[in-house]
Amino acid sequence: MIFRPFRKRPVPDRPDRDASAESSDFLTGDPTLDRRSLQLLLSTIADVASTSDLDVLLVDVLDKSIEVTGSERGFLLLCDNEHDPTDVQVRAARDSSRRNLPLDAAYGTSVAKGVLENGEGIASVVQGGSENVDFGQSVYDLKLRAVMCVPLASRGNLSGAIYVDSRAERKEYTQRDLAFFAALAQQLAVSIENAHLTRESIERARLARELELARDIQARLLPRPSGMPADIEIATWYQACEAASGDTFDVLAGDDGRVSILLGDVSGHGIGPALIANSVQAAMRSYLEVIEDLADILRRINDRLLEGVEAGSFMSLFLAHVDTDPARETGRVVQFVNAGHGCAYVIQSGDVQVLPTTTPVLGMVPELELGELPRRPLESNDIVFLCSDGLTEARNAERDILGEGPLLDVLRGCHGRSAEQVVAVVRELLEDHIGEQALEDDVMLLAMRVR
């Protein structure tokens, strides 16, 4: 059985009562009787306090409540609406034989509602049919002889109520029973809240472990460029703003000496975009091994995103073939397709070329219009630099974005440097801008230098 967390509600003000009085009204002054009552109360609290599992605890609380009050049935109600303290759900229902009752079994709902509205317990013996009606139709229909209900309150917050009843002719709940039940409920409410906090702590720890695992898996799945031609140098770096990144890249050396590179950015960040990004990267690698036409590959990826990703999610993507063999007819050249990715550059001697977008982002329109793919010549020491927009949109403490201007200024001085040096310089630019601020979006950098 799965329980949703209960919501805290303020306990209504009760100026004529205080907690110490409520907790001690069951004491009679008879040492033997009072000692027995205290022992029973402490024993019950100890039994319940030894359970930290919230699901088990709710049942234990109810069983103990039925046992100590000598009732036939019991219902544990937890608040489910932060705007209405009387909106409760039955989270456990049991009988005196410790058997589960249907959660939708009828009980004195009017009695419970009154307790939740007033924050005060009710214990009553129903004398006749007319009085049954006064307590609510459900009490009348069930022919109940005695009903008792007390609020569950801990640290000034109302979290629900415990309700018990009986149809036995001789069963009576006294004010002493009510005081004892209220004292018990007060301690049980603390146990329930502690168990709930323990569950939250465990859940947070479990989620943290899963996110750490996701981060490690993604780091291992990211490609490590190998088998590059002797005149190609690659450097990469990424930083996720959460546990996993929605950015991805790949570098693939073909048998003909041509190198394919890509960098993509899925909208949003976290586990969902990371799964999409990794799926696209895996599909792209498969396509690049068997398909030469970049436009064909892009259309296939667009179709996959349209079919398999929920509306509103999209991906910007830069994809290129880099041919560095000067003996070829085309010479050294980068041929590319740019699907809405605004951060793609060629660093040349004294200048930086911005590689323009050629088609909309992927996953938005069913038909991509792709004409002849653009080419840019490459010379020795030229660098193809790609990044995700998490870099240019990074914000400092004053909420100012880094922007493209400072990035271009830095890149103009990078011609002739190694790919690793280019990445290091850009990282330094980012760190100087954001200072101690955390990233709000994933950042991925890729530099390819023609040596």
For residue 414, give the CATH number of its domain.
Answer: 3.60.40.10
Pick the last residue of a domain from 201, 232, 251.
201
pLDDT digits (tens, 9 = 90+) for 60-80: 878 888 887 889 999 998 887
For position 132, what pLDDT does the model report? 47
Residues 50, 121 within the same domain: yes
On the question of pLDDT at 100 being above 90, the answer is: yes
Inside any domain, residue 3: no
127-166 pLDDT, tens digit per residue, is 655 444 445 666 777 788 888 999 988 776 788 898 999 9
- Determine, yes or no, domain membership for 438: yes
**Cα gap 196→193, rounded to integer Å:** 5
- Mean pLDDT computed over 395-400: 93
Q: Are 276 and 373 found together in one domain? A: yes
Is 192 in the same domain as 120? Answer: yes
Residues 240 and 195 in one domain: no
The verdict on residue 212 lying in a domain is no
Looking at residue 4, what is its pLDDT? 36
Q: Do residue 229 and residue 193 come from a single domain?
A: no
322 in Cβ contact with 386 (< 8 Å)? no
Q: How far is CA 163 from the centre of its chain?
A: 35
Q: What is the distance between the alpha carbons of residues 107 and 116, in angstroms, rounded to a whole number? A: 15
How many domains does one find in the chain?
Answer: 2
* Cα separations in angstroms, 228 against 152, 236, 345, 421, 429: 68, 14, 21, 19, 28
CATH (domain of 182): 3.30.450.40
pLDDT number for residue 233:
93
Domain boundary, last residue among 167, 201, 235: 201
39 found inside a domain: yes
Strand-pairing partners, residue 271, are none
**Phi, psi angles (nearest 5°) of residue 243:** -70, -30
pLDDT digits (tens, 9 = 90+) for 319-378: 999 987 766 656 689 999 999 998 999 999 878 999 999 999 998 888 888 878 899 999
- Calculate helix-pair angle for 31-49, 54-69, nearest 10 degrees: 160
Same domain, 413 and 293: yes
Same domain? 36 vs 178: yes
Residue 266 belongs to some domain of the structure: yes
Hey, what amino acid is at 393?
E
Rounded-to-integer distance, Cα 188 and Cα 65, Å: 10
Domain edge (last residue) among 146, 168, 201: 201
Quick one: 180 and 80 in the same domain? Answer: yes
Q: Which helix (H) or strand (E) is 76 found in, with range?
A: strand 73-79
Q: What percentage of the chain exceeds 70 in pLDDT?
A: 78
Q: Quick one: 34 and 73 in the same domain?
A: yes
Task: Identify whether 4 is part of a domain.
Answer: no
Answer yes or no: are the C-beta atoms of 367 and 415 closer than 8 Å. no
Single-letter residue type at 378: L
> Among the listed ranges 158-172, 189-203, 392-406, which one has the minimum average pLDDT value?
189-203
pLDDT digits (tens, 9 = 90+) for 424-435: 999 999 999 999
User: Is the model's pTM score more than 0.85?
Assistant: no
Q: Which two tokens stand for residue 344?
A: 């793609």
- Is residue 208 assigned to a domain? no
From residue 104, how far is each of 43, 54, 99, 107, 164 by CA, in Å? 31, 21, 15, 9, 15
Residue 375 to residue 371: CA distance in whole angstroms: 12
Residues 179 and 228 reside in one and the same domain: no
Are 229 and 373 found together in one domain?
yes
Q: Domain range for residue 423? A: 222-450
Q: Is residue 2 part of a domain?
A: no
Q: Are residues 169 and 285 in the same domain?
A: no
